[in-house]
Amino acid sequence: MSTNCYVLDPLAVNPIDRSVTKLLYVSVARYSTEWHSILHTHPCAEVFFVTGGRGHLKLADGSLPINVGDFIIVNSNVEHTEVSSEEHPLEYIVMGVDGLEALSGDDGGKGYSIVHFQSGSEQILFYLKSLLGEIETHLPGYNIICQDILEVILLQLMRRSEFTVTFIPSTRKSSKECAVVRRYIDNHFKENLTLDDLAAVVHVSKYYLAHAFSREYGTSPINYLLSCRIKESLYLLSETRLPLSQISETLGFSSPSYFSQSFRRIQGISPIQYRKNSQKE
């Protein structure tokens, strides 16, 4: 009988600073043509892995083609959104990670990094599915395992020569509940959402959520929801011929008059005047 014994180096340094890097949320998404996604930012980095379809990562100054097997990190406070088509809708798993910043020669200093996997994407997908399984079952210690899986994924990426990351302590402690709610609003702002609905997403009281969200982002959850709806209305007013009543209903406003009132308060002019100005341009 022969045996091989391997001894771990007790002095080896973990290249990932686990006191800084924190997994905040995980989401699974599938692109729909009914959804016009607006440019938005997050106070944490967003880490995407494309599991199906193809499309583009839209940024403030351009867009990147993305396909199955691509791994993308968008740094915190970088405007972005995802676009695709009905024929080949994008499907992806996205993680919100605090304290992470990607550095790559591919991005030109524009706040993102992308790895096009020629091989090995199956291994990353296995880890991501394991992470989702832990979150869904919520067994004791699931959060520790999820954090460990995140580190494994990042280490696998850091072994690739074209991919480097740095770990930056946040100036303030990010609230996991607030990050989840903000992501939820970004994806569901057209629905009839209340503060009670948003609090139920993260299983906290609405009073706690209102206070924590305002402290984290400088605005209330409902005002952030309203700002997302108004941003989307800018696109609908300038790029479509939909009447104001239909835009109001589509975006979840209780009435066209409330939509007009909210629009004027945020934009400084009426929706009709904004549409006229955009048509002139």
Say yes or no: domain 22-167 is CATH 2.60.120.10: yes
pLDDT band at 111 (very low <50, low <70, confident <90, very high): confident
Q: In this predicted structure, what is the pLDDT of residue 105?
A: 45
How much is the pTM? 0.73
Q: Are 60 and 79 in contact (CB under 8 A)?
A: yes
Interhelix angle 221-239/195-202, nearest 10 degrees: 110
Which 3 state secondary structure label does DSSP give 1?
Answer: coil
Domain ranges within the chain, ordered by starting residue: 22-167, 175-281
Percent of the chain predicted with pLDDT > 70:
90
* Tokens linked to 265: 């308060």
List, for residues 6-31, the tens digit of each pLDDT value: 887 776 667 777 778 889 999 898 88
36-54: b or e for each residue (b if 16 or more CB lie within 10 Å)?
ebbebbbbbbbbbbbbebb
Query: What gap in Å lies between CA 220 and CA 237, rounded to an integer?
Result: 26
If pLDDT is split at 50, 70 and 90, which confidence band does 108 have?
very low
Domain boundaries 175-281, corresponding CATH code: 1.10.10.60
pLDDT digits (tens, 9 = 90+) for 54-72: 999 888 878 889 999 898 9
Q: What is the distance, to the nearest Å, from the Cα of residue 243 to the centroid of all Cα atoms in its chain?
A: 31
